[in-house]
Amino acid sequence: MKLILEMRERVIVKTRAHPRALRGPLLRFFLLLAATSFLAGLLIRTDLPDWAAEASPLLLALLGVVFCVLLVVWCLRPLARWAGTYTYLTTERIVTKRGRSAAGQRSIGLYAIQDIVALTGRRAPYEAPGTLQIVLAGQRINIPHMPAVQKMRELGIGAITALPRFPRVDGVNMEERVEQDQPTHPQQRDWTEHE
């Protein structure tokens, strides 16, 4: 499912997490492959005790099933999650979308953002990946493994400064609008375009 945009909203950047987020699943894959190969090599030896030689086909089948289950849980699910997660910076909001449904979508309006902080390692180059920290009024939201996090921060701040500014209303100097035709029913009210 594509990202649904408002009328004047445009996408500035669409990105996914940096591939370094897959280091853990890749390491688990190699460890799982090495352990499975070692155990399979032990089970196909000819000098096994009689009880182990008789149970060897069953144990090999069990080892294959365990390998497949752990491969899916430890390696393929994180890979699918990484491949299906995107971060969008639009002219009005920052959206993190996971999967094809709208249920996995988190959106933060640019008007609510107070600051954007790029967290990288020490002496990291300009294009280095890192964590994009979005500062709201009462909380901080981290988007980890953001590629070129400094560039994304600059684009986000540029999008915030490009937002139209509305005059602040304090409620003191507001004029009351008087309508000539009062509605006949007291609870009846006309809906305006912005409601």
The 10s digit of each residue's pLDDT in 65-121 is 999 999 999 999 999 999 999 999 999 999 998 877 767 788 999 999 999 999 998
Last residue of a domain, one of 82, 97, 122: 82
DSSP type of residue 188: -
* Residue 56 forms part of a structural domain: yes
CB 29 within 8 A of CB 75: yes
DSSP type of residue 175: P
Nearest to 107 by CA among 2, 3, 1: 3
The parent domain of residue 137 ranges over 11-18+88-161
**77/100 Cα distance (integer angstroms):** 15
* Residue 173 forms part of a structural domain: no
CB 100 within 8 A of CB 84: yes
What total number of domains does the chain contain? Answer: 2
* pTM strictly above 0.85: no
Please compute, for residue 160, the number of CA atoms within 13 A of its CA located in the half-sphere on the CB side: 18
Token couple for 101:
């449904």
